[in-house]
Structure 1
Amino acid sequence: MGEPVAVSIVAMDPVLGAGVRSMLQSQADVAVVLPGEQSAVAVVVVDQVARPVLDLVRTARNAAHRPEVVLVATDLGSAGTMHAITAGARGLLRRSEASADRLTRTVLAAAGGDYTVPPDLLDGLLEQRAATRAPAAEAPAAAGSLSDRERSVLRLVAEGRETAEIARELSYSPRTVTTVVHDITHRFQLRNRAHAVAYAMRAGLL
């Protein structure tokens, strides 16, 4: 087992921050650091996703050591999710769903470069398509739509699922899942799974 992932807690409400800190301190795979210390992931804990929160996400992401950001919010909807992703959040969770294990998985996924979003919010992002077009620099000429199979696989990738888990969930072979992800990244000229999820969200393909 490798070294625990260093995690910092950023919270507007000290009570919310203390609750998240307590959960993570019991997890062997993460190590909660003191304010001001370097971390691989910053967990930002808020009530609602509003402009000050998005500024907080940007500030956390732009710290000198460039941590990934996981946003835990009491109230989290599709619009807030998209704004948070645009601001730099890599993982999103509702406080009501943020058990110690799930939060830890989200933190580890963020540290590894993967995006994690609640499944129902991925569905809701379909309604944000007009507002989530990718910048021209990220819209290759070969871009098109996703098939139902590709969309199903990518949604599970966005949840932080591993290849074997996705295969079991969709009754595919692991090889099929790997091929689907490879086809998506090749067609859209993307770097990896995380980039595929981010691109699909911003381009309104999910």
Structure 2
Amino acid sequence: MTIRVLVCDDQALIRTGFTTIIGAQPDMEVVAECGDGRSAVDLAARTHPDVVVMDVRMPVLDGIEATRLLAGAGVADPVKVLVVTTFNLDEYVYEALRAGASGFLLKDAPPAQLLSGIRTVATGAALLDPEVTRQLVGRYAARIRPADGTPGYSPLTPREREVLRLIAEGLSNGEIAAALVISHETVKTYVSRILTKLDLRDRVQAVVYAYRHGLVT
């Protein structure tokens, strides 16, 4: 199966680099490229990509609003969005995750990581860099936690709550298995139950949910 990719970045040099790298892969095809979020939304409607590689800060319509229009709640046919960012500059990438992005990468990530990220997101999985996740979501934890502090994870068992906490701290399934001394398959079962009980789409939403409800500080 060929992964159809739309590349959106207002910096022509970066956009060309991404397009060249992605287009050289036998299992990927760049169906369109553009330099602003509005064009990304319009092109996605015409070309039906599997994954949109999305910058955050762009003219006309920024990546956050474009992501919301492509993958947000209520979108009839959501597109998977992989946000790429310069971490120290794009302080609102968290909002892109809330808007429906399936994950994010740093712009200085090596090409192999970009390609792996596209393949991961295309399968329906979420892509979270553990260290960046801790810094990014943790930085805005206070502003995203509900004012009344009401726990929103009551449907979860104590063990599921612990797994959710470790997910929110950026641990992979393998790292969670090692930390809790359980099998990798058991972790996958816990993750699936957590997403189902809390009506969450993926691990990105689980991270946001945990911070939002004060499970992680």
Is the Cα contact below 8 Å between 1:79 and 1:128 reproduced in 2? no
Q: What is the DSSP-based 3-state SS (H/G/I as helix, E as strand, rest coil) of the residue aligned with 2:82? A: strand
Structure 1, residues 65-117: CA drift from partner, whole Å, max 9, x if none? 532111111235784231121222212111111x2321122222222332222
Is the Cα contact below 8 Å between 1:129 and 1:203 reproduced in 2? no
Of 120-129 and 60-69, deviating more is 60-69
**Are 1:84 and 2:96 matched, yes or no?**
yes
Q: Where does residue 121 of structure 2 map in the other structure?
A: 110
Is the Cα contact below 8 Å between 2:56 and 2:62 reproduced in 1? no
Q: Measure, in 2, the Cα distance between the counterparts of 1:59 and 1:85.
A: 13
Q: Measure, in 2, the Cα distance between the counterparts of 1:130 and 1:55.
A: 23
Q: Measure, in 2, the Cα distance between the counterparts of 1:203 and 1:82.
A: 16
- Cα displacement (A) at 1:61: 3.9
Q: Where does residue 155 of structure 2 map in the other structure?
A: 142
Q: What is the DSSP-based 3-state SS (H/G/I as helix, E as strand, rest coil) of the residue aligned with 1:89? A: coil
Is the Cα contact below 8 Å between 1:38 and 1:65 reproduced in 2? no
Q: What is the DSSP-based 3-state SS (H/G/I as helix, E as strand, rest coil) of the residue aligned with 1:93? A: strand
Structure 1, residues 3-29: CA drift from partner, whole Å, max 9, x if none? 121111111122211111111112233
Q: What is the DSSP-based 3-state SS (H/G/I as helix, E as strand, rest coil) of the residue aligned with 1:34? A: strand
Counterpart of 1:11 in structure 2: which amino acid?
A: D
Q: Where does residue 5 of structure 1 map in the other structure?
A: 3
Is the Cα contact below 8 Å between 1:41 and 1:68 reproduced in 2? yes
Q: Where does residue 198 of structure 2 map in the other structure?
A: 189
Q: Which of 21, 32, 35 in structure 2 is aligned with 1:34?
A: 32
How many pairs align? 193
Counterpart of 1:142 in structure 2: which amino acid?
A: P
Q: Measure, in 2, the Cα distance between the counterparts of 1:101 and 1:18.
A: 16
- Cα displacement (A) at 1:123: 1.5
Is the Cα contact below 8 Å between 1:54 and 1:87 reproduced in 2? yes
Q: How high is the TM-score relative to the length of structure 2?
A: 0.67
Aligned pair in 2 of structure 1 residues 192, 91: CA closer, same or farther (>3 Å)?
Answer: closer
Q: What is the DSSP-based 3-state SS (H/G/I as helix, E as strand, rest coil) of the residue aligned with 1:156? A: coil
- Cα displacement (A) at 1:151: 3.1
Aligned pair in 2 of structure 1 residues 126, 191: CA closer, same or farther (>3 Å)?
Answer: closer
Q: Where does residue 160 of structure 1 map in the other structure?
A: none
Identical-pair percentage: 24
Q: What is the DSSP-based 3-state SS (H/G/I as helix, E as strand, rest coil) of the residue aligned with 1:39? A: coil
Q: How high is the TM-score relative to the length of structure 1?
A: 0.70
Q: Which of 95, 120, 131 in structure 2 is aligned with 1:120?
A: 131
User: RCO greater where, 1 or 2, for CA within 8 Å and sep 6 or more?
Assistant: 1
**Are 1:73 and 2:82 matched, yes or no?**
no
Is the Cα contact below 8 Å between 1:115 and 1:198 reproduced in 2? no
Q: Measure, in 1, the Cα distance between the counterparts of 2:115 and 2:179.
A: 21
